[in-house]
Amino acid sequence: MLIIPRGGPFADAVRQCNVNDDTAHWMAVAAMDQYGLYIASHGIPTTTEMANPKKTTFFLPYGYVMLNDVLPHTWDVTSDTIAAWVAGRLHLDLLLLKSVDGIFLNGILQNQVHGPVESDVTDPFFIPFVVKKQDKSNDYQWITT
């Protein structure tokens, strides 16, 4: 399993910095590395190599994302979309863990989402990105929970 960390409190600090979108993007991606290192300090290895690991590993994305700069530099793209992008690049299933009950539409918890929806559970770019990637290839199986 390759774990893509969110930015956590380090990304929250970036949001308070009042910097332009480009600077905020790179600071927030670096925050993902920082939070990944923090969590991994409890005994899970880390890597900066974009590869399917032999055992559970935290991926520190900053260096790879910097060299493969294809995502928009905006707060509409967060670790959610970066995780989907990594899964797609490696042809891996995506399991997105969020600290919420799920995606609600008109107050009703959804078992599945079959297209773009308005939600604050994931970043605004995530669901259109996943749906677009799923439509382009049958090689991907996107699993979100």
79-106 pLDDT tens trace = 999 999 999 999 999 998 888 887 888 8
Q: Which of 26-35, 49-58, 73-82, 110-119 has the lowest mean pLDDT?
A: 110-119
Spans of all domains in the chain: 2-144
Q: What is the pLDDT of residues 17-52, one digit of tens each?
A: 999 999 999 999 999 999 999 999 999 999 999 999
What is the SS3 string spanning the chain?
CEECCCCHHHHHHHHCCCCCHHHHHHHHHHHHHHHHHHHHCCCCCEECCCCCCCCCEEECCHHHHHHCCCCCCCCCCCHHHHHHHHHHHHCCCEEECCCCCCCEECCEECCCCCCCCCCCCCCCCHHHHHHHHHHHCCCCCEEEC
> Does residue 82 or residue 137 have the better pLDDT?
82
At residue 37, the pLDDT reads 97
Query: What average pLDDT does this structure show over 5-18?
Result: 96
The pTM of this model reads: 0.82
